[in-house]
Structure 1
Amino acid sequence: MRLRTLLATTTAALAAAGCLTAAGPANARPHEPRHACSPSVSVDRFSDALDKTTYGGTFVGNLSALAVDGDGSLAALSDRSALFRLDAGSLEPEGVVPLADENGGALDSEGLVIDLPRSRLRPSGGTPVGTLLVSSETEPAVRRHARDGRVLDRLPVPDALKTAPAGRARSNGTFEGLTLLPGGRTLLASMEYALTGDDADTVRFQTWQRHRDGFRLGAQYAYRVDPGLGVPEVTALPDGRLLVLERGFTSGVGNTVRLYLADLRRATDTRGIERLTGQPGVRPVGKTLLADLVDCPSLGATAGQPQPNPLLDNIEGMVITGRAHDRLKVLLVSDDNQNGVQTTRFYALRVRVRS
């Protein structure tokens, strides 16, 4: 989405305190972060209200991405070919649009950008403006959809990033995160896992540049994940840096979810490098740990399977919803995989990012 306008259009998000569960001292100072996960991140509250629910006959779950629309409502993307519109305060579903590929087949939809024109706001009750950019991790692909779900076109993808045997990507390990950088001219997708032949801890970030005739392939970057983790989501900040989620799962232990601040500046353009295997001179994307979410207070949350912190689940979606003093308001959502031991859970964070 057009990030230079993001914060201004979402001040209503999470305004209803009753929609999320919170705990903590009632006498805390107004600007003092509560429920700290780290010096940079705190968790305000969480909500399981949509877990195992349906709307209009569609299961509300499998949520993999979030976005803020031009009217301030939230969009929540299911990886089972559905896009929900949610009330930003209550999180109640208000609409659903089915998605499909060019042949009407199901999509494993993972990343979402609402591409708004300059005149982005619609009259109350009017038709939504702009288009939807949706990444799918099975091909992989980035498609541009009309608001009614119709496929308008799809962006080019480098051969190496395609799944085997066409390319070197592993199935279900390609385009998970999708974000539009400030100014709206650069789109970025994050691979979840490394390509065959690259170092196991190195994933690629692919960009596209906007031209009059659409998006064309742009620079590519190497991003080093922590051992055993992948990248399920990226979100651009107004200054061009990125929030990056790293996530993993260990059976019998649970999820690891870490939030990083990443900077593309000074990173090497790797689109001409076939194998990323520790070549000298390749500078990866810089990153700084903001928080390991295992260190967040549990706030009374419960988990249906072993977790190092019962607040944790299979977190996949992330969006900036506003600003509170010196911190960004960030909303996360977990993908329950329509599984009885996993939960569709929303998390309201406050994140401080320094220059």
Structure 2
Amino acid sequence: MRLARLAGLSFALLTSAATAEPTGLKAVPITSFSRVAPEQKVFGSLRFRGGLVLSSTASGFGGYSGLRMDADGFGFHAVSDRAHWLTGRLVYEGYRVTGIESADISPVLGRTGAALDGTLDDDTEGLEISGSTAWIVTERSDNLLRFDLADGVAGARGVMIPMPKEVSGLPNNAALESIALLPPGGPNEGQLLVISEEAFATDNHAAWLVDTDGLEPAIRLEVRARDGYAVTDATFIPGGDLVILERRFRPPLSLHTRLRRIARADIVGGAVLDGSLLMEASRSEEIDNMEAVSAHRAADGTTVLTLLSDDNMSLFQRTVLLQFGLEDSTGEAGAAQ
């Protein structure tokens, strides 16, 4: 989210729809990740599997900061930082993503059923989904909202989950950005990990382990800040480790994104989380303001990371979806989907 402020970009005004609306979404395939070496397939520990440049004239399209793929890698939910859902299904040819079908846009609703647009909670940044329950963190108000998606997103209403008081002291527009549910098989399983976008007083990113219903006290920890990167999203991969997505923007043109992997066993109260680098990319590759990441296991056994960008509602940016296979996962990256 902070990239827009740094770049001095202006946002288009959005209007909310009362129900889901067709998007008229267009998807143009990305066949090469590297702009300078289009034949290159492997980037760090990841193998490029394909991507899309998305566009739509729908009023609520763009600005995506949260993403969760269904377990099969086809269905997805995304949330924009202007409080809209985007849902749909990816289309594949073999392992390569080629399009999106059945796409709909709906406003994110608050407890009363009113759209969040124009409120402090409309800066919806991070998304997590487990079963029919979704959680969203909002950046400017530093709130955590829970949604029942049993009947879909169009009528789902957000219920506030209490957050620790110290969260309210985080700087505006650089606070809660990421959320991920700890999987079974380790300490603090079933709790939500929330992470701040920027590093603060301790020179690291603030983080908390939060009970999904807000009934237990939150547990404080941190994520190691490195090289001036902001944390823009996080997801747990099959097998249990955490992957965090990071971005570094230095005006006017320097833009980098990277992915770090953190061991599941390290995620305990009081820890300063750090991890190994999976991939780093710049404008030499087909990136934009990458703010969302999700993981699933493809039919060939490969762990697939899907990244989505926040275009800040700017004519100078793009909505980019990228998919990579983790090279050390089961199955041959690049095999049939």
TM-score range, shorter chain: 0.7 to 0.9
Amino acid at match of 2:147: H
Corresponding residue to 1:331 among 285, 295, 306: 306
Q: Secondary structure at the match of 1:54?
A: coil
Which residue does 1:154 correspond to in 2?
160
1:111: which partner in 2? Answer: 126
Q: Deviations over 1:247-282 (max 9, x none)?
A: 111112321111100125346623xxxxxxxxxxxx
| AA at the equivalent of 2:41 | H
- Report matched runs for 1:48-197 at 5 Å: 48=53, 50-51=54-55, 53-55=56-58, 58-69=59-70, 72-89=74-91, 90-102=99-111, 104=114, 105-106=116-117, 107-116=122-131, 130-147=132-149, 148-162=154-168, 167=169, 169-183=170-184, 185-195=190-200, 197=201
- Shift, 1:245, TM fit: 0.9
CA distance in 2, matches of 1:354, 1:94: 30
Question: d(CA) in 1 for partners of 2:236 and 2:217?
Answer: 18
What is the deviation of 1:328? Answer: 1.3
Any conservation in 2 of the 1:267–1:286 contact (CA below 8 Å)? no
**Which one-letter code corresponds to 2:238 in the other structure?**
P
Unaligned runs of 5+ in 2: 1-26, 34-38, 92-98, 331-337
Deviation, 1:42, is 2.0
Taking the TM superposition and a 5 Å limit, the aligned residue runs for 1:226-241 are: 226-241=226-241
8 Å contact kept, 2:164–2:218: no
Matched, 1:314 2:289: yes
When structure 1 is superposed on structure 2, of 250-259 and 144-153 the one drifting more is 144-153
Tell me how far apart the structure 1 counterparts of residues 65 and 262 of structure 2 sit (CA, whole Å): 21
Letter of the structure 1 residue corresponding to residue 31 of structure 2: A
Looking at structure 2, the residues matched to 134 and 269 of structure 1 have their Cα atoms a distance apart, in angstroms, of: 22
Distance between the aligned counterparts of 2:301 and 2:130, measured in 1?
27
- The answer to whether the 8 A contact 2:79-2:86 is kept is yes
What do the CA deviations read for 1:167-187 (whole angstroms, capped 9, x no partner)? 2x1111122111112137121
Contact 1:249 1:255 in 2 (8 A): yes
Q: Secondary structure at the match of 1:91?
A: strand
1:322 Cα deviation (Å)?
A: 2.3
TM-score of the superposed pair, with normalisation by structure 2: 0.74
| 1:63/1:317 contact within 8 Å kept | yes
In the alignment, structure 1 residue 43 sits paired with structure 2 residue 48: yes
1:274-313 matched pairs, under 5 angstroms: 283-294=271-282, 307=283, 309-313=284-288
Q: Distance in 2 between matches of 1:320 and 1:266?
A: 19
Q: 1:322 to 1:153 in 2, by over 3 A?
A: same
For the residues of structure 2 that align with 1:247 and 1:23, how far apart are their CA atoms? 21
1-structure distance, mates of 2:249, 2:105:
30
Aligned AA (1:173): A
Contact 1:45 1:348 in 2 (8 A): yes
Letter in 2 for 1:260: R
Q: CA deviation at 1:293?
A: 1.9
What amino acid is aligned across from residue 163 of structure 2 in structure 1? V
Q: CA deviation at 1:192?
A: 0.7
Return the alpha-carbon distance in structure 2 between the equivalents of residues 20 and 220 of structure 1. 42
Q: How big is the shift at 1:209?
A: 3.0
Cα distance in 2 for residues equivalent to 1:227 and 1:65: 23
Aligned to 2:60, the other structure's residue is in SS state strand
**Does residue 31 of structure 2 align to residue 22 of structure 1?**
yes
Q: CA deviation at 1:215?
A: 5.2
Aligned residue for 2:16? none
- How many residue pairs get aligned? The number is 277
1:114 and 1:133 in contact (8 A); partners too: yes
- Percent identity between matched residues is 23
Separation in 1 of the partners of 2:100 and 2:60?
A: 15
| Structure of higher CA gyration radius | 1
CA displacement at 1:94 relative to structure 2: 2.4
Q: Deviations over 1:220-268 (max 9, x none)?
A: 2211121221100000123332001111111123211111001253466
Alignment partners' CA distance in 1, 2:214 and 2:130: 12
Give the whole-Å Cα distance in 2 for the aligned partners of 1:68 and 1:100.
21
Q: Is the 8 A contact 1:242 1:261 kept in 2?
A: yes
Is the Cα–Cα contact under 8 Å of residues 61 and 105 in structure 2 kept in the other structure? no
CA RMSD across the alignment: 2.7
Q: 1:85 to 1:354 in 2, by over 3 A?
A: closer
**Per-residue deviation at 1:154?**
1.5
Q: Does the CA contact (< 8 Å) of 1:257 and 1:293 recur in 2?
A: yes
Structure 1, unpaired ranges of 5+? 1-17, 25-32, 117-129, 271-282, 295-306
